[in-house]
Structure 1
Amino acid sequence: MKTLRIGDIYEKEAQDLLNSKRSVSIVHATGDIDASGDELEIPIRKFLRKRLPEKYYVGHGHIVDKNLNISAQFDVIIADSSATPILYDTENGTEYFPYESVYAIGEIKSTYNKNSKQIVNFSNSIDTLKSQMVREAVNKHYIGHGVQLGGEFGISGVKDIRNNLFNFMVFGGSGNCTTADVRAQLAQNNRNSNPNVMCFLDGAIVTQLETDNQGNPISSYVFEPWDEQIIKTKLARLKYTHDKKSGMVLAVLLLSLSNHLSKTLLKSPNMTDYLTTMLAESSAEGEVVGI
């Protein structure tokens, strides 16, 4: 019986993205910095749209909470397509998403550059989002469609908080990346604001692995550090050595996202809250028009 060579498919996808990365250098040399960034961001968003179910909307832009606070700009925002009224979109495609509808946030860089502190900057943006913007936690008693079970009821096997954000970074190339520099940058940040996975399209990833009884990493990926059911983990940098290593990186990215999305449950944004805040900030002059 013939089998689908899915590894070849992902390797081809990865090579297409690497070709886009090579275009970045050409466009960057012209001085068009914005366009050079798009050369890799757009193909990666296109890949995610193609591979994720239609339930998930893939865009880019800013996140807005019910108090109308605005986040930094993010290269990738994965949101609930069935309950996401985009608050605003600009001519260049930048969109403003209600915080409640966001599953995951990604940062795309053409090449790792330790001098730019890319991990630190992304983690700081995530930390500001989590610490200064408002989003109601969805607890394990919520089962969707506005239904909340009583405190004595719950769903076995789910996390206490069901709407945690997933953060990831994708680099077109490893550049001057070293394990020591990755470790140093991650150590500067709040652990829950660090990327859950970092993918390097030339064949490497950084994520957490389970450990054995001696504390040695084993090949069991752990993409979500807040998962209280998995205690023994160790952050590791893996460099794949086989001939389809770039395709493997893409597979890990998709696996990590699919793992998170399957465990996550969101509440739809209450647009009344957003509009009430807007009206509270307005001013007007009035006259009586009737008795």
Structure 2
Amino acid sequence: MELKPFKKLPIEKYFQHDLEKIMMAFRLSDSIRTDLSNIRAAGDEVELAVKDFFADKLYPRYHVCDGHLVDCNLKVSPQYDIIISENSKNPVLFNLADKSQLVYFDSSYCFGEVKRSFYDKKILEAFSTNIARTKKELERKDIAPNFIETSNSGFLVEEPLTNLPKRNPLLTFLFFIDTRACEISDLGNFLNKTDNSCVPNFIVLLDTGILINVDTTAFNNGKIKINLYPEFVSEESMWVLFEIDDEQSVLIYQYMLILEHLNSSIVAPPNLRDYTKNIFDFSLSNFHKI
């Protein structure tokens, strides 16, 4: 009996339905924006479609929502369109009436913003400001690079398990559907002049490709070395456009980048004692013998 070789999986077809749902939301949002003059509702259609894409793909291990990050000092971030957290570590502090959520910063892997179109060159600048503020003002303990997680706790080994300074780096991203009005050079100029710790780890341009950070020396020698965490790179780096022909492939590649981050990172459950210390007054005067 002749054995036929295994077939190659046409992976693009398996994301076709996901892409179509996002594009249907984009087309509907265009109608809402022009016919109803409701810009906020138009944006919400696209945000929900992209959020649902991640929620469907990452369930049940990861929790995906929109909302605010909250740290142990009860400081709150601006609202983000997508927050991805560890589902098994009780990431939600509170559900708000508009279905957004307050999420513990400790158990969050990443956050992102979704835009239906590149309507203002200041979008990247505004998001970068929020990234910098979130990293500066919100507090969470670093997880050592030589830490191994077990079911209930974990332990340290001699050798680091990552080249990064910690196992719980924060990843951020921007996701644009329509970039016809976008000048790539404007984005490049901002990215290349701004500290890498204050900009997104990558930028998705669904109809064009992905803006990523690469090693400069390797690039000049005709090779590609992608820096998923530009802020921790010590070598000279630069931002480039990875041009991709079709939207399905862009959707797949950015999803793979998110998966790489999730698979290689560890986050901690919220230390509820730290939170309760800042909620309640534990001074002795508030305790009475009975």
Shorter-chain TM-score tier: 0.7 to 0.9
Alignment match, 1:237: 241
Question: Partner of 2:164 in structure 1?
Answer: 159
Tell me, in whole angstroms, the C-alpha distance in 2 between the residues paired with 1:251 and 1:287.
Answer: 57
Question: What does the per-residue CA deviation read over 1:155-196, in whole Å, with 9 as the maximum and x for residues that have no partner?
Answer: 344522111110111101113211221023324643112111
Pairing 1:111-150 to 2, within 5 Å after superposition: 111-115=117-121, 117-144=122-149, 145-149=152-156
Q: Is 2:19 aligned against 1:14?
A: yes
Query: In the alignment, which of 185, 192, 210 is matched to residue 190 of structure 2?
Result: 185
Residue 228 of structure 2 is aligned to residue 223 of structure 1:
yes
Deviates more, 1:247-256 or 1:195-204: 195-204
Contact kept? 1:211, 1:232, Cα under 8 Å: yes
Q: Match for residue 247 of structure 2?
A: 246
What is the TM-score of this pair, normalised by structure 1?
A: 0.87
- The answer for the alignment partner of 1:261 in structure 2 is 262
| DSSP-derived class of the 1:171 partner | strand
Match of 1:108 in 2: 114
Structure 2 unaligned regions, length at least 5: 1-5
Instruction: Give the Cα–Cα distance (whole angstroms) in 1 for the partners of residues 268 and 219 of structure 2.
Output: 41
Question: What percentage of aligned pairs have identical amino acids?
Answer: 23
Aligned-partner residue type, residue 197 of structure 1: F
**In the TM superposition, what is the alpha-carbon distance from 1:287 to its structure 2 partner?**
9.7
By relative contact order (CA 8 Å, sep 6+), the higher-ranking structure is: 1
Matched, 1:41 2:41: no
| 1:82 paired residue number | 88
| Secondary structure at the counterpart of residue 113 of structure 1 | coil
The DSSP-based 3-state class of the residue aligned with 2:139 is coil
Whether the 8 Å contact between 1:106 and 1:168 is mirrored in structure 2 is yes
* 1:91 has 2:100 as partner: no
Task: Supply the distance in 1 between the matched residues of 2:65 and 2:207 (Cα, whole angstroms).
Answer: 24
Distance 2:90 2:207 in 1: 34
1:34-87 Cα shifts (integer Å, max 9, x gaps): 321221111111111222252111111000010100100000000010002411
The secondary structure found in structure 1 opposite 2:88 is coil
CA contact (8 A) 1:12 1:247 kept: no
Question: Could you tell me which amino acid in structure 1 is paired with residue 275 of structure 2?
Answer: Y
Residue aligned with 1:172, SS: strand
Corresponding residue number in structure 1 for 2:3:
none
Structure 1: runs of 5 or more not aligned: none
Equivalents in 1 of 2:189, 2:276: separation in Å?
Answer: 43
Contact 1:11 1:246 in 2 (8 A): no
Letter in 1 for 2:156: L
TM-score calculated relative to the size of structure 2: 0.87
Mapped to 1, the partners of 2:222 and 2:118 lie a distance apart of 24
Match of 1:209 among 214, 227, 240: 214
1:183–1:83 Cα change, 3 Å: same
Distance 1:28 1:265 in 2: 40
Instruction: Compute the RMSD of aligned alpha carbons.
Output: 2.6
* DSSP-derived class of the 1:82 partner: helix
Aligned residues: 282
- In 2, the alpha carbon distance for the partners of 1:127 and 1:272 equals 27
Mapped to 2, the partners of 1:213 and 1:124 lie a distance apart of: 30
